[in-house]
Structure 1
Amino acid sequence: MPMREEPSDPLDFRKAFKAKKRRKLGKEIILSLGEFSIVVAAGMLALNWPAGDARPAMVEQQAQALFQQASSPQFAICGRVRRTCVVDGDTFWLDGTKIRIADIDTPEIGQPRCDYEYELGMRATRRLVDLLNAGPFELRTIGNRDEDQYGRKLRVVTRNGRSLGDQLVSEGLARTWSGRREPWC
């Protein structure tokens, strides 16, 4: 059996870790510069329009929408690292906090009971990714419970006063939460 070679320098691990942190910091700086450039470009466009023209207000609104999209967290379906991602149609992580959408129930994808449940659950999961990435949203508590028995924060997710859970229900990808899970098969 071949022996594992020990690193010659015990600080190699620390060097690699610090290099990884520097790369991550560089990405954050690039994102911030990108947000800054959107605002500067919109401001320059607005300054070049003739006085009395309604276009600067339109450009300002478009720039504000672009800035909100650039500064909103971007979601994907969760992998190994779970910081800001979607677990399934009614559960997601936001900045390291696990959140259960309190007003709906969606099909399971982790342990589905039939193919239909899995397929519908995957559609709900992908749709939740799209909805969360569509722009800023609010998280509101519901009732007097802050967490469920699994430690997930119970929240209603809204945008412009409308529940994203209600939107999933209207699209046939979720059910309104009745207080208990019901079968999908």
Structure 2
Amino acid sequence: MRLLGEVVPFISGIDTPEIGSHAKSLKERKLALIAKGRLRELLAEKGLRVMFSGAVDKTQTHRPLVNIYRTNGEEIGKKLLQEGFARTWSPRHRNDWCNG
């Protein structure tokens, strides 16, 4: 699994802004770059544990969704939510990063 580079982990239960051509607005693209930078900082920590959540996404490749834990037991997805870099993901609701 590539944790950094063009693709970031698919973290279970969160939604982050889209990057590049997938973004719906310049605001979303900028938020995505900031969120990616914060995730990169968190993933640079030593001693992270990556655990399969038991779920896969709905794309053709069925990518596994993971939970990533820091050494203090804190889940990185929850940290991103608390800091405002992510929102709760729901299959029934698409987050609007351009106006919200």
Is 1:172 the counterpart of 2:91? The answer is no
The alpha-carbon distance between structure 1 residues 140 and 181, as it changes in their structure 2 partners (threshold 3 A), is farther
The alpha-carbon distance between structure 1 residues 119 and 101, as it changes in their structure 2 partners (threshold 3 A), is same
Larger Cα-atom Rg: 1
Q: Deviations over 1:30-59 (max 9, x none)?
A: xxxxxxxxxxxxxxxxxxxxxxxxxxxxxx
The alpha-carbon distance between structure 1 residues 86 and 168, as it changes in their structure 2 partners (threshold 3 A), is farther
Moved over 3 A (4+): none
Name stretches of at least 5 consecutive residues in structure 2 with no aligned partner.
none
Q: Which residue of 1 aligns with 2:94?
A: 181
Q: Which residue of 2 aligns with 1:85?
A: 4
* Conserved? CA contact 2:87–2:95, under 8 Å: no
> Which structure has the highest helix share of the two?
1
How many equivalent pairs are there? 93
Q: Distance in 2 between matches of 1:134 and 1:174?
A: 19
| Percent of matched pairs sharing the same residue | 37
Higher relative contact order (Cα pairs below 8 Å, separated by 6+ residues): 2
Q: Of 3, 6, 10, which aligns to 1:100?
A: 10
Q: Which runs of structure 2 are paired with 1:85-164 in the superposition (5 Å)?
A: 85-87=4-6, 92=8, 99-110=9-20, 111-142=22-53, 144-145=54-55, 147-148=56-57, 149=59, 150-159=61-70, 160-164=72-76
Q: Deviations over 1:68-103 (max 9, x none)?
A: xxxxxxxxxxxxxx955244xxx52xxxxxx41112
RMSD: 2.1
Kindly provide the amino acid, as one letter, of the partner of residue 165 in structure 1.
Answer: G
Query: When the two structures are superposed, what TM-score results if normalisation uses the length of structure 1?
Result: 0.45
The alpha-carbon distance between structure 1 residues 171 and 134, as it changes in their structure 2 partners (threshold 3 A), is same
